[in-house]
Every structure is written in C-alpha cells, then in structure tokens.
Amino acid sequence: AAGEIRGGSGEYGGEWAHMNRGKTFIISGPSGVGKGSVLRVLLEKRNHIYVSVSATTRPQRPGEEDGVHYHFLDVETFRQRIARDEFLEYAEYVGNFYGTPKEFVDTAMEAGRDVILEIDVQGALQVAAKRPEAILIFIAPPSWEELERRLTLRGTDSPEKIQKRLLRAKVECQTADAYHYFVINDTLENAAAELDAIMTAEHCKSRERMEIINGN
C-alpha cells in the first residue's frame, strides 16, 4: 500500500462531479501478483484517490520507506493498537501482522475521496462485514508459474517463504468468491485499465447518480 496520490485527469461525473461520494475499494491478490505496480499505473489515470498505508510487523524490505509503503511496527506496539481498537481490520499473513489504520480511511472518505485498501482476503472479509458497501476486487496472476517467477525475481523471500506465499495464494484464489470483480494481471496496462473501468462503473451506479441528480 502506498501513500497520498495526486495527478491524472480522471475527473468524472461532469458538473455533478463535486457531489461524487468517496467509496471504499478493496484490492486483494497473492503477494507477488503486482498489486503495487498496477496501483501505480492506475493512480496516473485517476484523481481523488487515497491509498491507505497499512501497519505491519514484517521486516522492512530494501527500498521500502516507513510511513510510505507501510508503518513498520514491533509486535508489542501492534498489539497495543489492536487493544485501542485503532484498526479497521487486521490479520496475520505468513507469520506477520498487517492492519488498516481506521482514522486515515475515515478522514479520506469524509473528504469525498475514493479509498483503496490493499489487503489480504481475511482482512477484506472483515471490512465487508462492517462496511457492506465496500467493493471487493481480486487481482489474480496469469498463471501459478508466472507468480512463482515474480516472487523469485523479487528476491526478498527465502525459497521456503516463497513456497508458503504460493500455497497461501492458491488458498486465497479459492476463497475469493465473495469478491465482486476479478482482474487478471497479464500486463500492468490491461490490469490498470480494468481497475479504472470498475471504479468508473461503480460511480455510475444508477441509485447513486439518481440521488445526486435528484438532490436526495
């Protein structure tokens, strides 16, 4: 997950645009599938998006910045935040904790921004239970071989961790039937174009448009 985003010309809704309401989009998919890269391409196309920065107890990877890619916390601090109910959801993923800080998400939504949560399936189901209007999008790899190749190329996990992540990915794909959309990341451009189309379509839903236009 990565930071505050500007840019792009993705205004939509014409004169009513200022009345668009922020929506929550949850993006899940196996680690290594390229969610971060797809999001970067998407953010060049669309305005008014806030990408939530998660907290995690996993070690920082080279190139990752604290507060930008994640808030890196020790387990003790993470547990304190759970106890203070500061997470919209949290989950354990391959031996580490990950959680979505509630405050930022709510502030962004109140400001009328779309919020993207890049979280795993367990977390997505927790958010869906609390916020049934959230839109769930699953990003799948073009094949398992390709996913293994991408995880290996990344070079950040041991062969054993890679096998754990692959197994976890297969389980996630099987349990993703609660998702509203499936995007296959064959190329970044295709996947980002599909995501963009989904977000636009969600803002064109008749009930919301009628409420805006009829002033309800």
User: By Cβ distance, which residue is nearest to ligand 5GP?
Assistant: 123
Task: Please report whether residue 194 would count as binding ligand 5GP according to CB under 6 A.
Answer: no
> Which of 2, 20, 78, 120 touches ligand 5GP by CB under 6 A?
120
Least Cβ distance, residue 45 to ligand 5GP (angstroms) = 21
Task: Please report whether residue 100 would count as binding ligand 5GP according to CB under 6 A.
Answer: yes
What is the rounded CA–CA span in Å between residue 191 and residue 200?
14
Structure tokens at 71: 């808030």
Give the interface segment with ligand 5GP, choosing from 42-50, 115-123, 133-141, 208-216 (CB under 6 A).
Answer: 115-123
Task: Please report whether residue 203 would count as binding ligand 5GP according to CB under 6 A.
Answer: no
Task: Please report whether residue 34 would count as binding ligand 5GP according to CB under 6 A.
Answer: no
> Which of 81, 99, 147, 162 touches ligand 5GP by CB under 6 A?
99
Residues 56-95 that bind ligand 5GP (CB under 6 A): 58, 89, 91, 93
Nearer to ligand 5GP, 58 or 164 (CB): 58
Strand order in the sheet with 181-184: 49-51, 114-118, 24-28, 135-140, 181-184
Q: Which is it for the CA torsion 86, 119, 150, 193, positive or negative? A: negative
Backbone dihedral region for residue 8 (phi beyond 0: left; psi -120 to 50: alpha; all else: beta) = left
Least Cβ distance, residue 62 to ligand 5GP (angstroms) = 13
Q: 154 with 61: CB under 8 angstroms?
A: no
Task: Please report whether residue 1 would count as binding ligand 5GP according to CB under 6 A.
Answer: yes
* Residues found near ligand 5GP in the complex (CB under 6 A): 1, 31, 54, 58, 89, 91, 93, 98-100, 118-120, 122-123
